[in-house]
A = this chain, B = another copy of it.
Amino acid sequence: MGKAERRQQILTVARDVFARRGYHAAKIDDIVAAAGIARGTFYLYFEDKRAIFEEIVDRTMARLGMVIERVDVASPKSVAEQVRDQIRRIFHILLEDRATTKILLSDALGVDPAFDRKLQSFYDEMAKQLEQSLRDGQALGIVRQGDAHLMSWLTMGALKEALSQIVQRGAEYDEDTLVEGTFAYFMGGYLRVA
């Protein structure tokens, strides 16, 4: 097995171990046992546990970063369609590899202070983009007036929770239902009373 494949193999089994046990409960021994290699071999490919975990999370953050696009009012696609697509892309990419998503959403917290900051920055970045989009929308009258900052966090939280639930309890949820349900929620909330 070439160096690259071995490295990739370790990454893959480590991802599964982290997803199953969580960061702190996952031992290097669990990873090497699952990979069928000796303890020492692991350290030929990765600095330490923290390093391999970070690489796994980084990859997903990068992939996720790729699919986030600002809404473009000048686009031929309607704003609604763009928002719907955005939701679809996010769900799609995160449900593709559920193990890593589970790690990102529930194990990456509390690893260590530096990692917490990194994660926070990542979400901040997303929230900032969303907030700006909301402000743009407000200026154009296509987004309800109100605290855009709060709205962006509420939105992110809603998405994170839905994903967490699906991923944490291997629930099968049809992706289209999910996208439509979430879109409707963002569109119109749910209360119909004065």
B-chain residues with CB within 8 Å of residue A144 when the two chains form the complex: 184, 188-192
Chain A contact residues, majority secondary structure: helix
Q: Are A160 and B162 in contact (CB under 8 A)?
A: no
The answer to whether A83 has its CB under 8 Å from any CB of chain B is yes
Q: Are B80 and A143 in contact (CB under 8 A)?
A: no
Most B CB atoms within 10 A — which of A116, A151, A154?
A: A154
B-chain residues with CB within 8 Å of residue A154 when the two chains form the complex: 158-159, 161-162, 181-182, 185
The answer to whether A113 has its CB under 8 Å from any CB of chain B is yes
The answer to whether A34 has its CB under 8 Å from any CB of chain B is no
Most B CB atoms within 10 A — which of A80, A110, A147, A178?
A: A110
B-chain residues with CB within 8 Å of residue A168 when the two chains form the complex: 120
Q: Pick out which of these stretches binds chain B: A3-11, A22-30, A45-53.
A: A22-30
Q: Are A110 and B112 in contact (CB under 8 A)?
A: no
Contact A110 to B113, CB < 8 A, known contacts A181-B147, A189-B186: no
The answer to whether A16 has its CB under 8 Å from any CB of chain B is no
A153 to B178, CA, bound (A): 12
Q: Are A80 and B191 in contact (CB under 8 A)?
A: yes
The answer to whether A142 has its CB under 8 Å from any CB of chain B is yes
List the B residue with the shortest CB-CB distance to A159.
B157
* Residues of A that sit less than 8 Å from B by CB: 22-25, 78-80, 83, 106-107, 109-110, 112-113, 116, 120, 134, 137, 141-144, 146-147, 150-151, 153-162, 164-165, 168, 173, 177-178, 181-182, 184-194
